[in-house]
């Protein structure tokens, strides 16, 4: 064995007993040995043993107690059985105890949410939380115990979703008539945060005695490709590919582009030629814009300064003193046309079919300016920015009715008089008939004829040029539309 002790171990401060042991070990290794017991380890081991014994004793006591209880139960059962039966068997002492009965479950709660209830919530646009609280309050007031009926928000929500699905299935759109496909895009606040804007496309189909909104989905962007994909997706989901025979759309490059436009893409996807029905209101809007700029000059901003001045002075205008068009200032041809146009506008007014209030207002103002009677009251001038469709027509006629009470320069008065004459004598009638597709070809030809016959050369030239830019839709596909044209209208078509 090697001596692994420190070389200066004898000089270290250690017990003398240890030094003696080291010295004896160095002198005679055979006579030296280590002896004794580690008392600390011994105490720890003994403590563990006693703890283990106590645990075993507790287990034995618990087992003995359960055995005693089981034996007592068996004895009681055996004695009861022996007293009620004459036959005793030797196996009675070994009969197993009966298991304890499970606690009785509560009966399921009743779901009293009916389809009528969900329809009422939908009509009133109630949220899930409000619908749940009102349902619980109504149930309690009718004497129901809400502990026995379902009043959770999740149950109410599931019932509403289920009834919506059932109603949607029952209202499935399966037409058997040819349909025209309509769409229009608009930037709307996002449903996610309400702050950002997203492009949504409203898609609708219409036919004989039928009309259906297919949806208003979000489009990736406003390009022709994205719009076409959005429209086609809804058409295919409704299985209407075979019913589509035409398209109604705004006259924007996104739709009418001959390479990347939405119309040409939809036509290619459906693999058949379609009737292109461009929105006549958008076309007539361009015509009015060009005529207004020719008479009043271009605007340098989004608002029209003259209209702003009129709006500010309107509260002091005496509305009981309008100044209609003077018949004596008209030629015989113009007077005959005034009477004809006055009759047409009155018939349009009597029909009562006015999709918007400003459509009706322009008819009322035109009738008043042409001498057909003054309305009981005039609406205050509204928005006058450049994007407002009817603002130019409505403001022009309204200004001429009260021009003697308004402050304008000679140039402004002359320009507004030309615009008002064009609107009342030509434009108003065609604007209100623009919603009838079968009138489109006839009315466009009649419009050019009337504006050249009635208006001055400057207005007629501008209006005709603007209308001719939008006559590209006239093709062999529309051969059915001119069937309602009169003989005189057909002769005019041949002349041009």
Closest C-alpha to 428, from 447, 456, 442: 447
Q: In the predicted model, is pLDDT for residue 174 greater than 50?
A: yes
Q: Strand 244-249 and strand 210-215: pairing?
A: unpaired
CA distance 205 to 173: 10
Give the mean pLDDT of 122-149.
Answer: 83
Could you tell me the pTM of the whole model? 0.62
Write down the pLDDT at residue 272.
92
Domains of the chain and any CATH numbers? 115-170 (no CATH), 179-278 (3.30.420.10), 281-495 (no CATH)
The overall longest dimension of the chain from CA atoms, in Å, is 156
Distance of CA 7 to the CA centre of its chain: 93
Listed in sequence order, the residues at least 6 apart from 464 whose beta carbon sits closer than 8 Å to its beta carbon are 448, 451, 452
Q: In the predicted model, is pLDDT for residue 389 greater than 80?
A: no
**Run of H or E residues at 57:** helix 39-84
Q: In the predicted model, is pLDDT for residue 267 greater than 90?
A: yes
Give the mean pLDDT of 349-357.
Answer: 79
Rounded to 5°, angle at Cα 365 from 338 and 279: 85
Q: In the predicted model, is pLDDT for residue 135 greater than 90?
A: no
12: pLDDT confidence band, cut at 50, 70 and 90? confident
Write down the pLDDT at residue 32.
60
Question: In sequence order, which ranges of 275-351 are alpha helices (DSSP H)?
Answer: 280-296, 305-313, 332-351
Give the mean pLDDT of 123-128.
Answer: 85
Give per-residue pLDDT as tens, 227-239: 999 999 999 988 8
In contact, 126 and 116? CB cutoff 8 Å: no
Check residue 370 and give left, alpha or beta (phi > 0: left; psi -120 to 50: alpha). alpha
Report the percentage of the chain scoring pLDDT > 70.
82
The 3-state DSSP composition of the chain as helix, strand, coil percent (nearest 5) reads: 55, 10, 35
* Burial label, 309 (beta-carbon count in 10 A; 0-12, 13-18, 19+): middle
Give me the chain's average pLDDT, please.
81
Q: In the predicted model, is pLDDT for residue 352 greater than 50?
A: yes
């Amino acid at each position: 064995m090697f001596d692994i002790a420190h070389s200066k171990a004898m000089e270290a401060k250690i017990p003398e007993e240890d030094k003696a042991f080291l010295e004896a070990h160095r002198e005679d290794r055979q006579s030296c040995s280590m002896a004794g017991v580690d008392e600390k380890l011994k105490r720890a081991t003994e403590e563990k043993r006693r703890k283990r014994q106590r645990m075993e004793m507790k287990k034995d006591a618990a087992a003995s107690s359960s055995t005693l209880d089981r034996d007592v139960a068996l004895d009681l059962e055996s004695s009861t059985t022996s007293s009620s039966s004459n036959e005793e068997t030797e196996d009675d002492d070994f009969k197993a105890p009966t298991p304890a009965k499970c606690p009785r479950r509560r009966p399921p709660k009743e779901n009293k949410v009916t389809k009528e209830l969900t329809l009422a919530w939908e009509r009133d646009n109630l949220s899930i939380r409000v619908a749940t609280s009102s349902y619980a309050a109504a149930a309690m007031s009718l004497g129901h115990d809400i502990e026995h009926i379902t009043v959770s928000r999740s149950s109410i929500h599931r019932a509403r979703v289920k009834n919506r699905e059932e109603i949607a299935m029952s209202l499935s759109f399966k037409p058997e008539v040819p349909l025209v496909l309509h769409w229009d895009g608009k930037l709307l606040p996002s449903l996610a945060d309400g702050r950002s804007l997203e492009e949504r496309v409203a898609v609708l189909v219409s036919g004989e005695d039928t009309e259906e909104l297919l949806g208003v989905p979000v489009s990736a962007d406003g390009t022709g490709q994205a719009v076409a994909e959005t429209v086609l997706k809804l058409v295919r989901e409704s299985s209407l590919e075979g019913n589509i025979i035409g398209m109604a759309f705004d006259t924007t490059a996104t739709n009418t582009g001959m390479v990347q436009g939405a119309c040409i893409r939809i036509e290619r996807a459906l693999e058949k030629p379609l009737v292109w029905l461009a929105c006549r209101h958008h076309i007539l809007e361009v015509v009015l814009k060009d005529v207004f700029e020719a008479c009043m000059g271009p605007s340098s901003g989004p608002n029209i300064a003259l209209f702003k001045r009129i709006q500010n002075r309107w509260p002091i205008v005496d509305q009981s003193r309008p100044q209609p068009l003077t018949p004596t200032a008209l030629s015989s041809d113009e007077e005959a046309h005034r009477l004809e146009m006055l009759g047409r506008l009155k018939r349009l007014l009597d029909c009562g079919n006015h999709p918007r209030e400003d459509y009706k207002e322009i008819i009322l103002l035109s009738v008043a300016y042409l001498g057909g009677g003054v309305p009981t009251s005039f609406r205050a001038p509204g928005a006058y920015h450049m994007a407002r469709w009817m603002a130019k027509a409505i403001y022009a006629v309204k200004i001429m009715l009260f021009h003697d009470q308004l402050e304008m320069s000679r140039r402004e008065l002359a320009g507004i008089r030309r615009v008002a004459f064009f609107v009342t004598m030509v434009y108003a009638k065609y604007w209100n008939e623009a919603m009838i597709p079968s009138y489109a070809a006839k009315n466009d030809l009649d419009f050019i004829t009337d504006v050249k016959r009635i208006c001055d050369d400057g207005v007629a030239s501008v209006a005709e040029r603007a209308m001719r830019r939008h006559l590209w839709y006239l093709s062999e596909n529309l051969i059915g539309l001119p069937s309602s044209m009169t003989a005189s209208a057909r002769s005019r078509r041949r002349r041009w």
